[in-house]
Structure 1
Amino acid sequence: MVCKVRHIFYVLFALFSIASQAQSKDNIKDSIERAFVDVYEFKKKASINSALEQLTNILDLSDTIQDQKSKARAYMLRAELGIEENYNSFDPIEIESYLVRAKKIQEEINDSLGLGYNYVLRALTATRNTSYSNADNYFTKAEVIFDRYQSTDDINKLKYYRGLFYLSQGLNTRAIERFENSLPINDPYQPNYLRAKVHLNLAKAYKNTKKYEDAKLNAETALKIGNAYNFPMIKLQSTKIISDTYASLGDIENAYLYQGSHIKIKDSIFNIQNMQSTAQANASFDNEFQKRHIKELKRQNEDSNQKGKRNKLTSILSSALLIIISLLTISLYRNNQIKVKTNNLLLKKNSELQLAKDNAEKAMKAKAQFLSTVTHELRTPLYAVTGLTHLLLEENPSESQKEHLKSLKFSGDYLLTFINDILQVNKIEARKLAVEKAPLQLKKVLNDVVNSLTQTSKENNNRIILNIDKDIPEKLVGDYLKMSQVFINLISNALKFTKDGIVEISARIIEESDTQQYIQFEIKDNGIGISQEMQENIFDSFSQGSVQINRKYGGTGLGLTIVKSLLELLESDIQLESKLGEGSAFRFALTLDKLPPEVTDIVTATQEKTDLKSRKFKVLLVEDNKINQVITKKIIAKQNMTCDIADDGYQAIDFARSNRYDFILMDIHMPGISGVEATKEIRKFDVSTPIIALTAISLDDNKDDFLKDGFNEVISKPFDPEIFYQKISNILT
C-alpha cells in the first residue's frame, strides 16, 4: 500500500514539474519577443551596436528553451542588418553564413514563410552585389511561397523589395511602379519605417528620371515620417535628395539649407565613437556565432550519449501517460454522446439546406426566364433604332449629321451590348462566358467610345483628353466588345461625376515582347471623388455610394460590377485611387497579342462590302411588327431585292405555297402560330427554299434547335446590315 502511494506521489510531482516548466517557457518566449521589438527599434534609430547586443541575448534565450524558430529569425535579422544601407561593412560571405544557418533550421521545422523571407534577403544580397540573375531567381522562389499564403502585407513588402532590385539596375520606371503598388505597406515591427523607405526610394527613382518635383515630394514625405519618429538614416538620405532636387530645379538657397541639415545629421550618426562601438559589437556577435556553432556540434554529440539516461525518465512518463489515457477514455465517451446529438441536429440542418437549395434553383430559373423575356422585348424596338440609323447613314447625310448618326449608331450598338451584359453577368456567375479574341484597332476603339460620349461631356461642361502611346501599333488582338464595355462604363462614370472638369484617358506600354504588349490604361478625373469607406464596396452590384448620389446622378450601380467581372475574365484587375472632393483614377493593364503582318492583310481584305445587286432576288418577309417590316424591307431594297410581306405564320404558309422565292426571312415570336411552326409546315411541301430565322433571340433559343426545325441560318435582331448581307450571300452561293 505504501509503495502505491509513493508511486502516485512521484507521478503527481512529475506532472507539476512539467506544468512549471511550461509556464517558465512562456515567460522566456515573451522576453524573446520583447527583445525582437527592441532590435527593430535600435535598427530604426541606427544604433547597430545595441541591436547586435540584443540579438546575442535572443540567441541565449532561444537556447534555454530550444526555440529554433526564434534562433532562425535572429540569424535572419543579423543578415538584414548587414544588408541595410546604414551598415557600412557589407560582407556578402558573412551574410551568406547567417542565411545558410537560418535556412537549415527553417527546413528542419518546416517554416515555409520564414524560408520565403530567407530568399528575399538572399535576393537583396545578390542585388547589392550586382548579381542580378541570382537575385531574380531568389525573388521568384519567394513569390511562389508568398502566393501560396495569399498575405497582402507579405506580397506588398515583396513588391517593395522588387522595386529595390529594379532601382539598382537603373530600371526606374519599373521600380516606381513596384514602389507605388507596394503602398499601403505594413509590418508588425516597422510599419512607418518601411513606409518612409518606400517614399525615399520613390524619390531616388524620380530623381533618376529627372522628375524633380515628384522626387522632392516623396523625399519630403519620407523626411516628415523620419522627423515624426526620429529615424536618423531616413532623415539623412531624404535631406540629401531634397538638397539635390532643389539644386536641379535652380533653387540654390534651399539646396544649401538642406545640404547643411544633411551634413549635421551625418556627423551625428557617423562619429568615431559610434563607428568604433558598432565595429566592436559586430566582432563580438561574430565571435559568439562561431562559439555557438561549435557548442551546438558538441551538444549533438552529447545527445547520443544521453539516450540511455532518458530511458529511465521515459518509464516514469509512461506511467503518467497511462493515467492521462484513462482520463481521455472517459472524456471520449462523453464526447461521443455529444456527437450523437450533434449528428441528429446536422441531419435536420441538412434537410433545411436542401430545401433552401431547391428554392434557390427555382429562383434562378425564374431569373433566367425573366431575362429571356426582357431581352426579347428590348431587342425588338432596338432593331428599329439601329436599322433606321444605318439607313440614314446610307442616304448621304451632311457631315454634321453624319457625326451625330455615327454616335447614335455606336450608342445603339452599345445598348445592345449592354443588354447582352445583363446576360453576361449571369453567364460569368455560371462560368459560361468566354474571351473572344479577334483583330482590333485599339485607337479606334478608344476614339469611338470618346465620340459616343461627346454629348455627355458637353452636358457637364467637361473636357476629354485622350493620350495614346505612339508606340502602340495600329492593330492588335483582343476582345473588342468586352474592352469597349470596360472603357465606356469607366469613362461615362467619370463624365457623370465630374462637372466643369477634365477626364483624361491614357494608354501606355509597360512591357513588350516580340508577340505581345502589356498596356496600362488609366481613366482619371477631377470630379467628386470616392470616400475611403465606399472604396471598399464600390465594385459591388448596385453600389453608388449613397441614396443621395443615386438620386442626383442616376444609374443602376451595375457599371463597375460589370467592369470588374470583365477584367477578371480578361485576366486583369482594376485599381482605384481616389480622394473625396479631388477626383478618382481607375487603372488596369491588359496583355494584347500583336498581329502578324500577313494576318493584317487578310483582315483588311475581308472588310469589303457584300454586293448582291447582280441578281434581283425575290424575298418573303414574315414579320408582325410594322416598324420592323419597313426597316427590313428598306435594307433588302438596298441590294435591289423585292419582297412580299406576311403579317403572321398563316399568311407565310399561303405565300410560300402560291409563290416562288429565293429565300424567306422568318420572325419567330408572332401571334397565332410561331415562326418555328410555320417553317415546319412549309417544309412539308418545300424543302429547297432557304429559310432564315430573323428574331430577337433569347436565353432559351438555340441555333442547333432552329437548324433541326428546318431553318438554314439564324440572324439575331438587331443586326449589322453588312453581316446580314454576308450571311444571305453565303446561303445563296
Structure 2
Amino acid sequence: MLKHFHKTSIISVYVFVMLLSAPWIMAQGSIGSKDSLEYYYGQALTFRHQNKISMAMEALDKAAKLSEEKEDIKALLDTFHKMALLYLELDNRETTIFYWDRAGVLLKDIEYPYGEAVHKFIDGTLLYRSGNNFQALSLLDEAKKLTNDKNLLNNMLLAEANIFLNIEKFDNASTNYYALLVNSDEFERAYLATLANLGLATMYDKQGKYGDSAKHAESALQLAQQNSFFREVLTANDFLARTYEKIGDYEKSLGYNKNLTQIKDSLFGIEKVKLEAKTANKIRFDQQSKTIGDLQAKNEELSASANRSEITAILTSAFLTIISILAVSLYRNNQIKLKTNDLLQTKNTELEQARDAAVSAMEAKSNFLSTVTHELRTPLYAVTGLTHLLLDENPAEHQKEHLKSLKFSGDYLLNFINDILQINKIDADKLEPLNIEFKLKKVLTDVIDSLQQNAKENDIKVVLDYDNNIPLNLLGDPLKISQVFMNLVGNALKFTKGGQVSVLARLKERSEDNATIHFEVSDNGIGISEQQQKNIFDSFEQGSIQINREYGGTGLGLTIVKSLLGLFKSSIHLKSKLGEGSTFYFELDLKVDETASLDEIPFELTVEDFEFEGLHILVVEDNKINQVITKKMLAKKGITCDIANNGNEAIDAAKNNEYACILMDIHMPGISGTEATVQIRKFNPDIPIIALTAISMEDSLDEFYAAGCNAVVTKPFKPEVFYQKIGENVFKTNLSDKV
C-alpha cells in the first residue's frame, strides 16, 4: 500500500540528497548489446549518475517501448519501477505514483519476487521521505527477504544506513556505511562508496567530529570527480565549505564555496529544470496518449459489433481520460512555475550564504595579514635601525659592503610587506581616493627626482614630457597618483639598461570643471612578449621565472597600479615588443579647482630647519633592542630621553616630568599605547605625542588620532622621517612664526 509522503524539514540536506540518489536498482543481468533492454538500463544508470536526467528518461522510455514490443511483462514492470525512482529523484510526487501504480497493476498478474522487492523498496523510500522511519525499516526488511540480488541489497543497505542516521542510531549507520565503502557491486561500486562516504561525513558532523567528517567528504568528492557524479560533486563541495568554516579554516571554506558557485549553474540552472520538466511531461503524455489510443482501438472493435452501450461507456471513459489529462497538464504547468520560483529563491539564498562565507574569509585574511605584519615589522625595525647606526659609525670598508647588503635586504623586505598590505587594503575596500587640491606637474617631478639615483646607476635618462595646457590646480588624490607613477617608472628603470624612460602627460579633453588627461610611461628596455602580456598584471607575475631571478622584485607593482587606477574608475593598458621596450598608458578624469591659488608654497619644512640639541623627550617602548636603537638615533641629534617600559610607567613619567614630546609605542603588555595616550591627555592636553607602531592599516591610524596622538610613524621608519615628525610636532609653533 502506498504511503503518503511530503517534504520534511527534519531530514538533513545531505541525507536527503543521498536518499534521492541511492535507490537505483539495475535489472538482473549485465549490460547487453545496443538496442537491448540491458543497454538502455545501463545508459539510464550512467546518465542518472551524471545528473543528465532528461537523457536517462529518454533511455527508459525506449526500454518501455522495447518491453511492450517483446511483450515482456517483467521487463516492462522493471522499467516502470525505474521511471518511478527517477521521477522520485525529481521530487515529482504525482508522476512517481503514476508509474509505481502501473508497476503494481502488473505485479498482480505475475509471480515476480524481485519486482515485489523493488516495489516495497520504493514504498519504503517514500515512507522515509515522509518521516515514517520505523515503518520504512519494516518495509525494507520485508523487501530483503524477497531477493538475493546484490545491487538491490546494497541499495537497501544504504537506505537503512540513512534511516539509522536520521534516528541517530550511529553505530548501526556506521556499520552499514563502512560495509558499502568496500562493496563489490557489479553496477554501482563507486557510486555506493561515494554515497557511503557522504553518509559517514554527515554522521561525524552530527557528532561534532569535524576532522573525520571532512576526511570522508574529501573521499566522496574525489570519487565523484573521478566518475563524473555531478550531483555528488556539488553536495561534497557544499558540505566541505560548511565543515571547514566550522573548523575555522576559512581559506579552504572559501575555495569550496567558489567551486560551489562555479558548478551550481551548470547542474541546477533554470533552463535545465525546464528541460527536465518538459521531457518528463512529454514521456508521461506519450504514455497516457497510448492508453487513449488503446481505448479508441477497442472503441472501433465495439463499433463493428454494434455494441452501442459498450461504445458509449468507452467513449465516456475516453472523454474522462482526456479531461483528466488536460487537468493534469494544467496542474503540472502550475507546479513547474512554483518549483521554478522555489529554485530561484533557493539559489538566491545559497548565493547569499556563499557571499557571507567569502566576506568572513576575507576578514580572517585581513586580520591574519595585520597580525603577521606587526610581527614582521617589529624585528625588521631592529634590523634597519641597527644597520643605519652601524653605517653612521664609520665602519671599515670591508664592512660597509655587508652593511649595505643588509640595508638593501631590509628595505626590500619592508617594500614587499607594504605591497602585500596595499593590495589587501584595496581588496578589503579600505582605500578611497581623496579629493584635495594638488599640482600634477609637481607630483610627477617629485616622483622622477626621487628615482634619479636609480636611473644614474643604470645610465638611464628620465624625461618628463608635460603638456602645459593641463590646468595648474586639480582636485584628486596626489598620494595614490604618485604611487602609480612610482611603480610604473620604477618598473621601467628596472628593466632598462643604458636607455631612456619617458613620462608623458597630455590634456585630452577639457570642460568647465573637468579635465581628462592621458598618461604614458615608456621605456626602450627588454620588452614583454604577447604571451606574457596576458598575465603581467596578476599578483607575483613578472613574465617568467628567469626574469624574476635576473631582475628581482615581488611582481606586485603592476597589480597595485591596476588596483589603484580601479579606484579612479580607470584601467591600465600596455603596448610592448620583445627587445624594443614597453609603453603603459591610461587616462584619468580629474576635477579642475578654479578657485585655488596659483602660487607655489613659499616654504617647506625640512629636517635641517630643526635645532634638536638640548631636547629631552620620553620614549615609551617595551622592546629592549628597540629602546637602544631609538635612544642612539635621538642621541645623534643631541636629544636626551627617558625610557618607559610600559603604559603605566609612561603615565607616571608624564605626570612627574617635563618633556618636549612623547614617542609612544602602541602595542605593549598591560595597557596599550592608545590607552596610555587617553590617560595622559586628561592632565596634559598640549604635549606632542607621536605614535610608533608596526600597524599600517588606515582604520588603526584613525584610532590613534582619536585617542589624542598628534602624528603616527610606522615602524620600521626611515631616520629622516623620524626626525621630521619630531621636528614638526615640537617646533611647529616656532616654524609657523618663521613662515
With structure 1 as the length reference, what TM-score do the two structures score?
Answer: 0.43
